[in-house]
Structure formats: structure tokens, C-alpha cells
Amino acid sequence: MKFTKMHGLGNDFVVIHMPFAPDFTELAALAPRICDRHTGVGADGIAVLYPSSVADIAMRIINSDGSIAEQCGNAMRCVARYVYERMNGLRKQFTIESKIGVQPVWIEAEAGVVSRVRIDMGQPVLTPREIPLELPGESAIEQTLSVEGRPFVYTAVSMGNPHMVIAVEDATAFPVAKWGPLLEKHPLFPNKTNVEFVTYHSSDEATMRVWERGVGITLACGSGACATVVAGALAGKCGRKVLVHLPAGDLFIEWCEEDDRVYMTGPASFVYDGVWLG
């Protein structure tokens, strides 16, 4: 099976282009093996491309543990670059069908080489029952929960996938590996959740680290960066246009007032092409 290794700010994927709708059960079983960093290719997940009847291409993301992700901004940028440079004749605007719907893509490129990709990540979902979050009301802004006796103040947002955004004094030094897995599986989130630990520096700048549901610590999370800006804006900690610093680089996030949609702009990189023999 041919594949391409790509990454978006260090969040890496095995990209597989298939000429037909894939067997997701088979790919879910493959994911832990091909994503293993010692005995496989090594990746945070698989990005599967296949034909779409409603967009230029369809994409699904399978996490390294075999679970299906509803949304993944970094994978979306990787797929957009793959499609632009290898499939669509260098059209700079097209659409990708994901699990949450059809998402428009804009390419920034020179001489046919992509520098940045802008993705329409959709409208944030704030109603707890739709996130889903076991909490009454129409939003979950700066709520408190506890794990192992420690309270955390969080804001819950869905960007097609659930996020718990927690403001901390120093995101770079925060013990993500200790608290991330406990918060991911908190019983208030029936489908588990991604967890972002964020330091808001100003109205237009923040630093974020993430524990991704079904993966663990990653170097970047595109949907998490979007959730970070939405949560920060709702809590009055930042504005709607924010440069989000991640361990492997930066993403520019804009939560547009006119259409309530979140737009993410950032890089995507090829690593190598290969053949899986396993």
C-alpha cells in the first residue's frame, strides 16, 4: 500500500489516497500498527483520501489508537497541500468533505509550492448537549470540574470534535502528561475530549499545549487552536484574531463575527513517500 508521510506543525499523518470508499474497520485495525513509532511508519494518525460526491475530495482521520476523529485541522492542511500539488491541477480554492461536512480550502503558493493553507473550520458549537457535555444550559464558559481533588476552570467548545480549554499561568511548563489523560476521560464528556492548556498573553497572542483524545501529547492541534480562540474570546481573555503558539510553530486563527465561522491558517509539509508492506 502506497502512502505519503506529512505533518502540520509536527502533528504527523500517514496519508493514504484510495480510488474508492475505504473499509474503515480495516483501516482502524491497521492504525495502531502503522502509526507505531518503533515498529511502523510512526504518526499521530492516518488521513484517508477518497472520492466524494459533494466535494472535490473526501477525507477521514483515524487516530493512532484506531478511533475515528470527527475533525483535525492539521490533517486538513496536509490533505489540502497533497490535493493541490498532486491531484487538482494547482487550483487554489477547492473543497474537502470531512466527517463534519464540506469545508472550503484556500491555498497560498508560489511556483506551485504551498506556503500556507487557510481552512474554513466551521461554526463553533457551544451548547453542552451538542458538544457533548453532561451539563445543563446553553453554554459551558468557565465552568469548574475536579480530578483527583484538583479543580480546573474550563470552557467547553466543539469544533466538530469536543474540546476542554483550560487557562494556565505557563502552558509551556504545565504537566500535560499528568493531567491530560485524566481530563480526556472525565465522565462529564461521554465521548471523551481533547484538552488544551493555554496561556493568553494578550488580545492577539496565546500559547497552547494539547492532550489529544485518542492520541496523547502532540506538537500541534488545529481544531484545538480554534477552540482556544473561541473559548478565550468568550471568557474575555483574547480577541477574535489570535496568533496561537504551539510547540512546533504558529497558527493564525480568526473567529469571524460576520458569519460566526472559524478560519485557520498555517503550514503543511511533506516528509516522504513510501510503501507499507505490513
C-alpha cell at 206: 496565546
**Buried-state track 94-125, b at ≥16 Cβ within 10 A, e below 16:** bbbbbebeebebebeeeeeebebbbbbbbbbb
Q: Which of 35, 72, 226, 238 is catalytic?
A: 72
C-alpha cell at 137: 444550559
- As beta bridge partners, residue 249 has 246
DSSP code, position 213: T
Q: Which of 35, 78, 221, 238 is catalytic?
A: 221
Instruction: Please report, for residues 143, 188, 199, the alpha-carbon distance to residue 158 in angstroms, rounded to integers and kept in the order given.
Output: 15, 14, 20
Q: How far apart are CA 104 and CA 76, in angstroms?
A: 10
Task: Tell me whether residue 72 is one of the annotated catalytic residues.
Answer: yes
Rounded to 5°, angle at Cα 23 from 20 and 26:
140
C-alpha cell at 73: 485541522
Rounded to 5°, angle at Cα 13 from 189 and 76:
70
With 0-12 CB in 10 A as exposed, 13-18 as middle and 19+ as buried, what is 38?
A: exposed
Task: Tell me whether residue 221 is one of the annotated catalytic residues.
Answer: yes
CA-wise closest residue to 179 among 203, 157, 154, 148: 148
**Is residue 266 classed as helix, strand or coil in its secondary structure?**
strand
CA-wise closest residue to 27 among 72, 74, 59: 59
Catalytic machinery residues? 72, 221
